[in-house]
């Protein structure tokens, strides 16, 4: 399998692990238990810093290449860039609310839960759709040279939570994910 596709799939596995941590937090919050604002904020912040900046633009470029090789399949994938923009907006909205709550501002519990659920549900649906149709369609239609061109144009950093050069800022988040075995296997 092409290295770029492996990278995108690994990103999905990693993002899904974080989404499961997010879901645990949100479910506890919905059950009127306390929530760890730092973990929630760090996951949303990670999504703004890595998937929104590097993973999604790379997928957009893969889709452009797919369009030139199999326009019907690309049509079926739909408007990924618009979906990515919508996810970024929902992530941003949730991040703003949870940051305010963490900083002591009074935010209605329902509002936090609604924003958290919208982010979580749409992210999970989006990843599942890409895994089921987009990635297999790209794998089938793109040629070796296409993947090489994508790879040569790729200038993203390693993942700040799961990569070789984990950022200090995300140390706690990495620990949260890695210390629970139920979260270490792919979704
Ligand atoms: Fe993706």
Between CA 170 and CA 103 the distance in angstroms is 19
How would you label 5-30 residue by residue, b for 16+ Cβ within 10 Å and e otherwise?
Answer: bebbbebbebbbbbbbbbebbbeebe
pLDDT for residue 184: 46
73 alpha carbon – ligand 1 mean position (Å): 17
55 alpha carbon – ligand 1 mean position (Å): 6
Angle between helices 109-129 and 37-49 in degrees, nearest 10 = 40
pLDDT tens track for 92-117: 999 999 999 999 999 999 999 999 99
pLDDT tens track for 7-56: 999 999 999 999 999 999 999 999 988 889 999 999 999 999 999 999 99
43 alpha carbon – ligand 1 mean position (Å): 16
pLDDT for residue 122: 97
Work out the average pLDDT over 168-179.
79
Class of residue 167 by CB neighbours under 10 A (exposed 0-12, middle 13-18, buried 19+): middle
pLDDT for residue 182: 53
59 alpha carbon – ligand 1 mean position (Å): 6
31 alpha carbon – ligand 1 mean position (Å): 30
40 alpha carbon – ligand 1 mean position (Å): 20
90 alpha carbon – ligand 1 mean position (Å): 15
Tokens 């030139």, located at residue: 68
57 alpha carbon – ligand 1 mean position (Å): 9
How confident is residue 187, by pLDDT bands cut at 50, 70 and 90? very low
124 alpha carbon – ligand 1 mean position (Å): 10
pLDDT for residue 166: 66
91 alpha carbon – ligand 1 mean position (Å): 14
How crowded is residue 168: how many other Cβ atoms within 10 Å of its Cβ? 7
Show Cβ contacts of residue 11 under 8 Å, excluding neighbours closer than 6 positions: 50, 51, 55, 159
User: Which is nearest to 119 in space by CA: 87, 144, 163?
Assistant: 87
User: Which is nearest to 8 in space by CA: 59, 47, 46, 50?
Assistant: 59
Question: Where would I find the H helices in 37-143?
Answer: 37-49, 56-69, 71-77, 80-102, 109-129, 135-141
């Amino acid at each position: 399998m092409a290295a770029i596709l492996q990278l995108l799939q690994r990103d999905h596995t990693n993002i899904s692990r974080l989404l499961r941590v997010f879901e645990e937090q949100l479910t506890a919050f919905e059950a009127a238990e306390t929530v760890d604002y730092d973990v929630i904020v760090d996951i949303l912040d990670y999504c703004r810093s890595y998937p929104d900046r590097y993973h999604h633009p790379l997928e957009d470029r893969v889709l452009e290449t797919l369009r030139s090789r199999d326009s019907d399949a690309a049509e079926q994938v739909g408007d990924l860039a618009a979906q990515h923009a919508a996810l970024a907006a929902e992530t941003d909205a949730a991040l703003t609310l949870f940051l305010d709550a963490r900083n002591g501002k009074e935010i209605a519990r329902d509002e936090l839960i609604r924003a958290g659920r919208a982010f979580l549900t749409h992210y999970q649906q989006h990843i599942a759709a890409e895994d089921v149709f987009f990635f297999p369609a790209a794998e089938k239609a793109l040629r070796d040279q296409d993947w090489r061109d994508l790879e040569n144009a790729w200038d993203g950093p390693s993942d700040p939570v799961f990569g070789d050069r984990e950022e200090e800022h995300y140390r706690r988040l990495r620990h949260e994910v890695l210390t629970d075995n139920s979260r270490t296997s792919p979704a």
